[in-house]
Chains A and B, each alone.
Chain A
Amino acid sequence: DVKVTQSSRYLVKRTGEKVFLECVQDMDHENMFWYRQDPGLGLRLIYFSYDVKMKEKGDIPEGYSVSREKKERFSLILESASTNQTSMYLCASSLRGGVAKNIQYFGAGTRLSVL
């Protein structure tokens, strides 16, 4: 079974803090993704990565950065957390290439509250 692990299920941070959300997958997947999910807005892609040290902006990258130093780990960084970044954050991974391979597997999510 594919396992995507997010380091925290719940986080509470203060405005202005630097926040790190960590994601690790154990299936040697090349592709990794970070989404946020808010009521009525669905899943929105923040950043994704196709390989180590590579990153691509998604639909809503503002206020976020990412790091992929190792294949299995993809970190999402909030440089200066703001209240509008309170959300559920979901990490996903998939194999590279081919229609059948781009099934994405998700972690359990991190519910972040910024006060």
Chain B
Amino acid sequence: RKEVEQDPGPFNVPEGATVAFNCTYSNSASQSFFWYRQDCRKEPKLLMSVYSSGNEDGRFTAQLNRASQYISLLIRDSKLSDSATYLCVVNLISGNTPLVFGKGTRLSVIA
């Protein structure tokens, strides 16, 4: 079983739509969770950390469900500039262990 699994997409949505991505992780001892964004032919950049209580940053909402071992990202009122690949990222153990990246979900927002 893969450590971090995401639906690869692509998700093609019109501007203004709400879109949700889910991600599951296999290790229940995972400590920290993030969503990264990667534009075409660019490096991944941190979009937001995911906290147990859920957190919101403008149009973006991240949720963590430890019991079911999944993380979600909700994007409201999609913009053309949201088109990118969204990477789900998990740290299995706190401290110095490397992050584990999902393969990403591709989003295309269409005018």
Residue among A33, A58, A103 making CB contact with B46, cutoff 8 Å:
A103
B43 and A108 within 8 A (CB): yes
B96 and A100 within 8 A (CB): no
Among the stretches A36-44, A62-70, A74-82, the one at the interface with B is A36-44
A53–B49 alpha-carbon span in the complex (Å): 30
Chain B neighbourhood of A108, CB < 8 A? 42-43
A50 and B32 within 8 A (CB): no
B43 and A99 within 8 A (CB): no
Min distance, Cβ A107 to any Cβ of chain B, angstroms: 6
A103–B46 alpha-carbon span in the complex (Å): 8
A103 and B98 within 8 A (CB): no
Chain A neighbourhood of B95, CB < 8 A? 96-98, 102
A96–B98 alpha-carbon span in the complex (Å): 11
Name the residue on A nearest B43 (C-beta): A106
Per the 8 Å Cβ criterion, residues 63-111 of B in contact with A are 87, 91, 94-99, 101-104
**B27 within 8 Å of A (CB atoms):** no
Chain A neighbourhood of B10, CB < 8 A? none
A103 and B49 within 8 A (CB): yes
Per the 8 Å Cβ criterion, residues 68-115 of A in contact with B are 90, 96-100, 102-109
**B45 within 8 Å of A (CB atoms):** yes
**B21 within 8 Å of A (CB atoms):** no
Min distance, Cβ B35 to any Cβ of chain A, angstroms: 12
A41/B43 contact (C-beta < 8 A), A31-B96, A103-B34 known: no
**B18 within 8 Å of A (CB atoms):** no
- 9 A-B residue pairs with Cβ-Cβ distance under 8 Å, sorted by A, are A42-B87, A50-B96, A97-B96, A102-B32, A102-B95, A102-B97, A102-B99, A105-B46, A107-B43
18 A-B pairs besides A31-B96, A97-B96 with CB distance below 8 A are: A42-B101, A42-B102, A42-B103, A43-B87, A43-B101, A45-B98, A50-B96, A96-B95, A99-B32, A99-B91, A100-B49, A102-B32, A102-B95, A103-B49, A105-B46, A106-B43, A106-B45, A108-B42
